[in-house]
Structure 1
């Protein structure tokens, strides 16, 4: 994961804050996320940058969004996110995930634009809490969305919905770049009760 103006120290501080506010130990987060305790510790200390998929696994295990780990929350009634201020995460395989939604108090929602070169697999993401929802819309190109092991092929203009409490993976098997959007609402039902 790379971002020129990205602060590993800030990410570490936010991850630790979210983990501690939920009363989750390093060992419990490691078990729930499938990410090693040492990697989580390194991220919390600002010593190591997680991949986008690892960051998503940590957020999912905490019942939150990656956006909450990347940016401080804002409470304004109107928030403009200029292109230069949007958290943009780039993987070494060449794909980019740009978070288009602000982090709001008490709201676990992400709106993301992802750009994937031809022939690149984004990877598999863990299931979110029961009651979570995800929507995908393809702006251009081809995208294979695999839900709990079942692939669904989408092309330019196609959209889909799926229950967010399923494993989900994304891949561009096409011959051209793919641009797609995801909107995700993470359920906090279990955490709030």
Structure 2
């Protein structure tokens, strides 16, 4: 991420944390991400991995796209490809957020590309009432929900309650492209600061 993007991410993260009444220590405990890492992200000094950003967003009752971009207030929002936030993990998988950030709506539409033999990793559970839908466009994907693996092939889809841990892996011999539609339940009551 560029410095300007890191600074903007840090500002949004800090504002959301303060809005929720959380100290750095409380957010670290809730997210499983170290206090020092959260502090570095807030200062724009370090680019988080996708999993780190997802854990922090989940602990804040937000989506990754909420932390990456500004709210869109229009009734019709065109999101050009060049304006879609993209995060590429060190292992080569790519997450592209296709949906705009709408005020008061914690919703994401995501396209993920995973090279063969790559594990995306495990994401923490969202708030009770959250929902996720997965559709595989090409290749194969193993989605593990609450410890139970589900093997999906091109054209398959899967729904699950998002309030359980979930992990993704491409064990197949070719690249996998899949889509996620995610609704994070709300409203979110502030966590108790420690």
TM-score (norm 1): 0.96
Report the count of equivalent residues.
190
- Give the equivalent residue in structure 2 for 1:33: 31
Distance change (3 Å), C-alpha of 1:6 and 1:159: farther
For 1:138, the equivalent position in structure 2 comes to 136
Q: Could you report, residue by residue, the CA deviation over 1:156-175 in whole angstroms, capped at 9, with x for unpaired residues? A: 00001000000000000000
In the aligned structure 1, how far is the partner of 2:62 from the partner of 2:74? 20
Separation in 2 of the partners of 1:123 and 1:25? 27
CA distance in 1, matches of 2:188, 2:76: 29
Specify every segment of 5 or more residues in structure 1 that has no aligned partner in the other structure, as ranges.
Answer: none
The within-5 A match list for 1:1-193 is 3=1, 7-191=5-189
* Alpha-carbon distance, 1:24 to partner: 1.0
What CA deviation, in whole Å up to 9, does each residue of 1:100-147 have, x standing for no partner?
A: 011111100000000000000000000000000000000000000000
Q: Residue 3 of structure 2 contacts residue 44 of structure 2 at CA under 8 Å; is this kept in 1? A: no
Q: TM-score, normalised by structure 2?
A: 0.95
**Shift >4 Å, 4+ stretches:** 3-6
Structure-2 separation of matches of 1:87 and 1:185:
18
Offset at residue 5 of structure 1 (A): 8.5
Please give the alpha-carbon distance, in whole angstroms, between the structure 1 residues aligned to 2:104 and 2:188.
Answer: 14
Q: Which runs of 5+ in 2 are unaligned?
A: none
The CA distance in 2 between the partners of 1:129 and 1:6, in whole Å, is: 31
CA distance in structure 1 between the aligned counterparts of 2:76 and 2:150, rounded to whole angstroms: 36
The alpha-carbon deviation at position 191 of structure 1 amounts to 2.5
Report the CA distance between 1:64 and its aligned residue.
0.6
CA distance in 1, matches of 2:3, 2:71: 18
Shift of 1:189: 3.8
3-state SS in 2 of match to 1:93: coil
